[in-house]
């Protein structure tokens, strides 16, 4: 990990103009803990010269009652904001727009600075429990709801991670030293922490030494898995200390918190009345409203949270900090409240956000967590956070977390095999097939060396089959699915796992051109769905219906294909987010069927729907390539060849770049070569058409069975070139196409009829 991983992207430069000659020793010490780039001046001219000679943005702390000094500093363009430290309470300068706040004690000033720049900008997220369908998966929550749930599951998972070890403490100290590697003062405090820290002193360290404040809250804001994981000991200790010290005698009925929020966050809360809101870090509050107002500052983004506490014994953990002198109440991270109302106080120039904390919200939250946790596979506690991230579609952070765990586990740890497996799954989802396969093979090797269960072998072989499938190695995929099938009757949940495996096998039959086996296998799957009484909205039904639709489309049974695609869409629309990737794939497949039926407007509409989802979700290029391919065929069929060629050349570039390094003979590349060849054929550019068809044939001959229907298509295309060039070789290629069609395609299949018509026509011609 590098320093840039955890650097403060919003860090500004600071100057302190101390004209009143405040005694600054203790204050300076605390400021240096907050900021690495503070300079102190007692002369306004020197201070001005320093600021104006720099291109940086500055925050100025001014110890002066002199209005002219304040006005002069505020006129400098690169002074971002001003904090006034005064001895007497006056109304001077209050209308100056750059004045963030006016303070009469160093303590209050310091807390406000820490609040704004380093420590207490607590990120928030909201969640409307009533608007989430019971069948919605974690991956399909909207961005803010997903963030809310992420933190709620994080709370449970982080507290179960092994943390009471010397290794966990070293992880945390390493992060701090890397961040402050050039700051001798902070390194000294970190050394002291390493020697003296224990769980009983965690609250003291958290509230007095702000290098923890800065790093930990930055990690929570950015959901930085590196730091959160490495701070697991501190997080766990702090949570348990807060829980043990929970106030029950004469508890406060209302507490306050002042801070800033972005306009986006304020608008989100305004539009979320009666929803739940999560404070996504440890939450410091006060019983003194005036102190909270000082921390809120005086900007358009200043916020005062007013938190009413009911049912004290059942609410989120909190404790009173008796030595703070400000009536401070500290809540554990992830505290959840209900939003009662939001309004702007024009008198105080602050947004008032009234919240309620009660056991009612805790009970609702428990039901929410239980619902989504049921969607996670049974797995080791160590992996649950990564699995949660993966289920939410956040593969990068899932991988990051798994790699952290992998470094910590000894090579013979019993969970190592499962870890390799989940890393492989994450890489497979990112289309990094070589790395996925590498990790699956590491898992297989681990289990063969250290013993295994049937469940584990089922998982590994299923996953190897899946990655081979994605790489276009369909024979190897089928072989590994068969290995998995050998173990499937030993697994704990045979109904669902077996169905998924059988669905994968049936789909590979389609890709191998074994259409009779594919149709028969899918028909058996439909019977199994009913025999096992799988719920009508079960996600496995979507996979089966989509794959069956694809199988029917390949044999030219368009009406049946449309029927099953529409069944899949109907379920998807009820249980998933409207931008789900599966919906894009089915729209794309449905468009192909409509294109075959010459229903051009319907075809194009479905391609556009698929494309819109892919663009909204920022999906990878291979997903886009599938849609571009079909849009290219749409233009090709309509004889708009320049547009068709543009799309197909884009697809070829993507597929060669991403698929060739994994499998140079991937059949998807051959499909694109064939499509480009047909465009040149239609334009009578026979030499270029033949060039593309021969490249396609070379790939298909190496990757597909000799009787695969795709080869029939290529033979027919080559035959057409020879026919138009008056060569008798056309007969040879047309015959090979017909031979495959007779064994693989139904008698009424449109492509079989085309091949037979081509052969009949060529026989009647006088070819040389």
Q: How far apart are CA 222 and CA 717, in angstroms?
A: 54
For the record, the structure tokens of 317 come out as 């953990």
More reliable by pLDDT, 451 or 761: 761
Indicate if the pLDDT at residue 693 is higher than 90.
yes
pLDDT tens for 480-526 read 999 998 876 655 455 556 788 999 999 999 999 999 999 999 999 99
The CA–CA distances, whole Å, from 44 to 49, 73, 100 equal 9, 8, 20
In 332-411, DSSP assigns E strands to 335-345, 350-357
Q: How far apart are CA 291 and CA 289, in angstroms?
A: 5
Per-residue confidence (pLDDT) for residue 367, from 0 to 100: 62
Query: In this structure, is the dihedral angle defined by the CA atoms of residues 304, 310, 316 and 320, taken in order, positive or negative?
Result: positive
pLDDT tens for 125-169 read 676 655 544 444 444 444 556 566 666 676 777 777 766 667 788
Per-residue confidence (pLDDT) for residue 138, from 0 to 100: 41
Residues 506 and 518 sit within 8 Å (Cβ to Cβ): yes
**Which residues neighbour 515 within 8 Å (Cβ) at sequence distance 6 or greater?**
509, 551, 554, 555, 709, 744, 745, 746
Give all strands of the β-sheet with 13-18 in edge-to-edge order: 38-41, 13-18, 58-63, 79-85, 99-103
Per-residue confidence (pLDDT) for residue 299, from 0 to 100: 73
Across the strands, what pairs with 336? 278
The DSSP secondary structure of 109-134, one letter per residue, reads HHHHHHHHHTS----EEEE-GGGS-T
Burial 643-661 (b: 16+ CB within 10 A, else e): ebbebbbbbbebbeebbee
Query: In this structure, is the dihedral angle defined by the CA atoms of residues 143, 148, 151 and 154, taken in order, positive or negative?
Result: negative
Kindly indicate the confidence band of residue 121, based on its pLDDT and cuts at 50, 70 and 90.
low
Give the residue from 230, 155, 238 showing the smallest Cα distance to 408.
230
pTM of the model: 0.66
Per-residue confidence (pLDDT) for residue 140, from 0 to 100: 42
Q: How many CB atoms lie within 10 A of CB 762?
A: 21
For the record, the structure tokens of 448 come out as 């063969």
Give the residue from 1, 43, 45 showing the smallest Cα distance to 18.
43
Per-residue confidence (pLDDT) for residue 506, from 0 to 100: 97
Per-residue confidence (pLDDT) for residue 481, from 0 to 100: 95
Looking at residue 623, what DSSP letter applies?
A: H
Q: How many CB atoms lie within 10 A of CB 539?
A: 18
Q: How far apart are CA 328 and CA 150, in angstroms?
A: 28
Residues 272 and 119 sit within 8 Å (Cβ to Cβ): no
Backbone angles phi, psi at 59, to 5 degrees: -110, 130
Backbone angles phi, psi at 57, to 5 degrees: -90, 135
Kindly indicate the confidence band of residue 247, based on its pLDDT and cuts at 50, 70 and 90.
low
More reliable by pLDDT, 155 or 272: 272
How do the residues of the chain divide into helix, strand and coil, expressed in percent and rounded to 5? 65, 10, 25
Per-residue confidence (pLDDT) for residue 725, from 0 to 100: 93
Q: Which of 246-250, 304-308, 415-419, 764-768 has the highest mean pLDDT?
A: 304-308
Runs of H (alpha helix) within 576-708: 581-596, 600-617, 621-637, 641-659, 667-682, 686-703
Indicate if the pLDDT at residue 714 is higher than 50.
yes
Residues 197 and 190 sit within 8 Å (Cβ to Cβ): no
Which domains can be identified in the chain, with CATH numbers? 3-104 (3.40.50.2300), 138-244 (no CATH), 254-370 (3.90.176.10), 493-619 (1.25.40.10)
Q: Which helix (H) or strand (E) is 766 found in, with range?
A: none
For the record, the structure tokens of 268 come out as 């989100």
Kindly indicate the confidence band of residue 364, based on its pLDDT and cuts at 50, 70 and 90.
low
Q: What is the mean pLDDT of residues 359-379?
A: 57
Q: How far apart are CA 426 and CA 435, in angstroms?
A: 10
Per-residue confidence (pLDDT) for residue 611, from 0 to 100: 93
pLDDT tens for 523-541 read 999 999 888 888 888 888 9
* Mean pLDDT, the chain, whole residue set: 83
Percent of the chain with pLDDT over 70: 81
The DSSP secondary structure of 421-488, one letter per residue, reads HHHHHHHHHTT-HHHHHHHHHHHHHHHHHH---HHHHHHHHHHHHHHHHHTT-HHHHHHHHHHHHHHG
Residues 631 and 607 sit within 8 Å (Cβ to Cβ): yes
Mean pLDDT is lowest, of 330-339, 502-511, 591-600, 721-730, for 330-339
Per-residue confidence (pLDDT) for residue 365, from 0 to 100: 58
**Which residues neighbour 713 within 8 Å (Cβ) at sequence distance 6 or greater?**
674, 737, 751
Q: What is the mean pLDDT of residues 703-723?
A: 95
More reliable by pLDDT, 6 or 232: 232
More reliable by pLDDT, 228 or 424: 424
Q: How far apart are CA 476 and CA 237, in angstroms?
A: 50
Per-residue confidence (pLDDT) for residue 151, from 0 to 100: 66
Kindly indicate the confidence band of residue 11, based on its pLDDT and cuts at 50, 70 and 90.
very low
Residues 169 and 197 sit within 8 Å (Cβ to Cβ): yes
For the record, the structure tokens of 233 come out as 């000991």
Work out the widest C-alpha separation in the chain, in whole angstroms: 110
Per-residue confidence (pLDDT) for residue 496, from 0 to 100: 56
More reliable by pLDDT, 661 or 651: 651
Cα torsion at 201, 206, 207, 210 (round to 10°)? Answer: 130
Mean pLDDT is lowest, of 14-23, 302-311, 591-600, for 14-23
Q: What is the mean pLDDT of residues 365-372?
A: 59
Per-residue confidence (pLDDT) for residue 278, from 0 to 100: 81
pLDDT tens for 543-561 read 999 999 999 999 989 999 9
For the record, the structure tokens of 63 come out as 């110890």
Q: Which of 168-172, 369-373, 485-489, 590-594 has the highest mean pLDDT?
A: 590-594
Give the residue from 353, 168, 336 showing the smallest Cα distance to 271.
353
Q: How far apart are CA 683 and CA 689, in angstroms?
A: 9
The CA–CA distances, whole Å, from 386 to 375, 428, 661 equal 14, 15, 28
Per-residue confidence (pLDDT) for residue 7, from 0 to 100: 39
Mean pLDDT is lowest, of 22-36, 105-119, 418-432, for 22-36
Q: What is the mean pLDDT of residues 621-631?
A: 94
């Amino acid at each position: 990990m590098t320093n840039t991983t955890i650097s403060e992207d919003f860090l500004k430069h600071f100057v302190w103009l101390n004209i009143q000659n405040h005694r600054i020793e203790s204050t300076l010490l605390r400021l240096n803990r907050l900021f690495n780039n503070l300079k102190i001046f007692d002369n306004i001219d020197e201070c001005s010269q320093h600021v104006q000679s720099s291109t940086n943005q500055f925050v100025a702390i001014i110890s002066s009652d002199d209005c002219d000094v304040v006005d002069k500093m505020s006129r400098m363009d690169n002074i971002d904001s001003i904090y006034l430290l005064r001895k007497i309470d006056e109304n001077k300068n209050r209308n100056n727009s750059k004045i963030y706040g006016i303070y009469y004690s160093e303590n209050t000033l310091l807390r406000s600075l820490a609040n704004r720049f380093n420590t207490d900008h607590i990120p928030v997220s909201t969640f409307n429990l009533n608007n989430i369908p019971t069948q919605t998966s974690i991956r399909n929550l909207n961005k803010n709801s997903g963030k809310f749930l992420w933190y709620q599951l994080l709370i449970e998972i982080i507290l179960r991670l092994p943390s009471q070890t010397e290794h966990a403490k070293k992880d945390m100290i390493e992060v701090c030293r890397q961040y402050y590697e050039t700051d001798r003062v902070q390194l000294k405090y970190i050394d002291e922490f390493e020697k003296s820290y224990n769980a009983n002193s965690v609250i003291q360290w958290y509230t007095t030494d702000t290098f923890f404040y800065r790093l930990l809250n930055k990690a929570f804001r950015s959901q930085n898995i590196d730091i959160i994981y490495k701070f697991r000991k501190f997080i766990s200790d702090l949570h348990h200390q807060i829980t043990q010290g929970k106030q029950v005698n004469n508890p406060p009925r209302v507490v306050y918190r002042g801070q800033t929020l972005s306009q986006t966050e304020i608008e989100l809360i305004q539009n979320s009345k009666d929803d739940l809101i999560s404070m996504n870090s440890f939450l410091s509050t006060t019983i003194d409203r005036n102190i909270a107002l000082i921390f809120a500052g005086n900007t358009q983004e200043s916020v005062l949270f007013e938190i009413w506490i009911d049912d004290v014994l059942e609410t989120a953990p909190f404790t009173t900090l008796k030595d703070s002198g400000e009536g401070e109440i500290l809540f554990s991270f992830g505290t959840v409240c209900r939003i009662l109302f939001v309004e702007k106080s024009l008198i105080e120039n602050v947004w008032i956000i009234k919240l309620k904390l009660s056991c009612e919200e805790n009970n609702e939250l428990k039901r929410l967590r239980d619902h989504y946790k049921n969607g996670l596979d049974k797995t080791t506690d160590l992996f649950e956070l990564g699995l949660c991230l993966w289920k939410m579609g956040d593969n990068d952070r899932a991988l990051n977390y798994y790699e952290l765990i992998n470094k910590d586990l000894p090579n013979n740890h019993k969970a190592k095999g499962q870890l390799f497996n989940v890393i492989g799954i994450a890489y497979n989802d990112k289309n990094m097939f070589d790395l996925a396969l590498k990790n699956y093979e590491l898992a297989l090797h681990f289990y063969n060396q250290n013993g295994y269960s049937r469940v584990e072998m089922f998982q590994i072989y299923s996953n190897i089959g899946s990655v081979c499938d994605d790489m276009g190695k369909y024979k190897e995929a089928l072989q590994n699915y068969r290995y998995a099938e050998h173990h499937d009757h030993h697994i704990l949940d045979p109904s669902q796992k077996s169905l998924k495996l059988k669905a994968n096998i049936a789909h590979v039959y389609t890709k191998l051109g074994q259409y009779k086996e594919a149709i028969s296998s899918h028909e058996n799957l439909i019977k199994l769905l009913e025999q096992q009484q799988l719920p009508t909205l079960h996600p496995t039904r979507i996979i089966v219906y989509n794959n069956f639709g694809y199988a029917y489309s390949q044999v030219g049974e368009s009406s049946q294909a449309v029927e099953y695609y529409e069944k899949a869409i109907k379920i998807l629309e009820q249980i998933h987010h409207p931008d789900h990737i599966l919906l894009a794939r089915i729209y794309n497949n449905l468009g192909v069927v409509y294109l075959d039926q010459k229903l051009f407007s319907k075809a194009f509409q479905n391609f556009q729907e698929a494309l819109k989802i892919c663009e909204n979700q920022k999906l990878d290029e291979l997903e886009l390539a599938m849609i571009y391919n079909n849009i290219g065929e749409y233009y090709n069929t309509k004889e708009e060849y320049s547009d068709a060629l543009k799309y197909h050349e884009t697809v070829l570039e993507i597929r060669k770049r991403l698929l060739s390094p994994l499998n140079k003979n991937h059949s998807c590349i051959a499909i694109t070569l064939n499509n480009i060849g047909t465009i040149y054929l239609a334009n009578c550019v026979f030499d270029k058409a033949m060039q593309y068809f021969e490249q396609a044939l070379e790939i298909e001959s190496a990757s597909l069975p000799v009787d695969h229907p795709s080869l029939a298509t290529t033979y027919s295309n080559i035959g057409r070139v020879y026919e138009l060039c008056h060569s008798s070789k056309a007969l040879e290629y047309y015959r090979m196409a017909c031979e495959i069609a007779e064994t693989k395609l139904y008698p009424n299949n449109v492509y079989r009829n085309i091949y037979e018509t081509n052969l009949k026509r060529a026989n009647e011609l006088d070819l040389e």
